[in-house]
């Protein structure tokens, strides 16, 4: 009886926490589909706020997807070799470099953006390009690719696997593409999940670096809440969820699929 009572207490607490997190999201979604939020559902449901958001802010959604995918590609190209180099380096230097990689995460995003502006803001064409925002996103998300990949490499005893492959005559390229990459796919997928979600939702760095022609989804969302009707901002939130949730589910599914195969 005591165990059953404890179970129901834990279940009730879990349900309350879930409701605390989910109910605001549901209310926001309903507000974006309601004719008049202040009257409530009795005013009727409509998609005109979603259509209005798409008309005004569709470019921010496309730019956010473009940034997230470009950020993912760059963090893969930089992060996986960096994790491999850290694994091969001496432990003391590897730890020092690994901690240094976390600086963009520890430093406030506004400070990172200000540093980028001071360093590269005088290059006018670069400053006005979305590539400037991309640099900030890569700086912020790179540790989230390096850490899980490095952890998987260390857990799978990669050095011993490489030594075995080298003893059979495999060159560096064969070892890296045939041994290292396949054995750290789970870490790569975990890092990809973090990189994409953080890039899509990143606000502080983006707000400081964006221009009127280069607004991302979070910046447009803030603008819509500040200057438009509440229904517009809520409809924007709905579009954000429709974009990010399927992406997260897909990445999670790929991760679980790879884990089962290994």
- Is residue 205 classed exposed, middle or buried when 0-12, 13-18 and 19+ CB atoms within 10 A define those classes? buried
What are the domain boundaries of the chain? 29-261
pLDDT of residue 78: 92
Q: Which pair of structure tokens corresponds to residue 71? A: 């950020």
Q: Which pair of structure tokens corresponds to residue 186? A: 């789970």
pLDDT of residue 138: 92
- Binning pLDDT at 50, 70 and 90, where does residue 260 land? low
pLDDT of residue 234: 83
pLDDT in tens, 205-255: 888 888 878 888 888 878 777 766 777 878 888 888 887 778 777 777 776
Q: Reduced to 3 states, what is the DSSP secondary structure of residue 24?
A: helix
- Binning pLDDT at 50, 70 and 90, where does residue 259 land? low
Q: Is the pTM of this model over 0.85?
A: no
- Binning pLDDT at 50, 70 and 90, where does residue 2 land? low
In this structure, the number of other CB atoms found within 10 A of the CB of residue 259 comes to 12
Please state which CATH number belongs to domain 29-261: 1.10.3720.10
Q: Are 94 and 83 in contact (CB under 8 A)?
A: no
């Amino acid at each position: 009886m005591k165990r059953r009572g404890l179970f129901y207490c834990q279940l009730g607490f879990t349900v309350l926490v879930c409701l605390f997190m989910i109910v605001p999201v549901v209310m926001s979604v309903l507000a974006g589909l309601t004719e008049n939020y202040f009257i409530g559902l009795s005013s009727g449901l409509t998609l005109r706020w979603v259509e209005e958001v798409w008309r005004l802010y569709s470019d921010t959604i496309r730019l956010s997807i473009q940034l997230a995918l470009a950020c993912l590609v760059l963090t893969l190209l930089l992060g996986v070799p960096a994790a491999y180099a850290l694994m091969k380096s001496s432990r003391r230097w590897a730890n020092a470099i690994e901690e240094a990689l976390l600086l963009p995460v520890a430093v406030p995003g506004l400070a990172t953006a200000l540093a980028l502006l001071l360093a590269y803001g005088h290059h006018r064409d670069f400053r006005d390009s979305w590539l400037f925002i991309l640099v900030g996103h890569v700086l912020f998300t790179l540790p989230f690719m390096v850490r899980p990949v490095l952890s998987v490499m260390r857990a799978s005893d990669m050095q011993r696997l490489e030594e075995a492959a080298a003893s059979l005559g495999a060159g560096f390229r064969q070892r890296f593409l045939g041994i290292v990459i396949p054995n750290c796919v789970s870490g790569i997928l975990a890092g990809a999940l973090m990189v994409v979600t953080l890039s899509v939702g990143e606000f502080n760095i983006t707000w400081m670096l964006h221009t009127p022609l280069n607004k991302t989804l979070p910046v447009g969302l803030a603008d819509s809440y500040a200057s438009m009707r509440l229904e517009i901002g809520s409809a924007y939130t709905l579009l954000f969820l429709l974009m990010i949730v399927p992406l997260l589910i897909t990445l999670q599914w790929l991760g679980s699929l790879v884990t089962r195969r290994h």
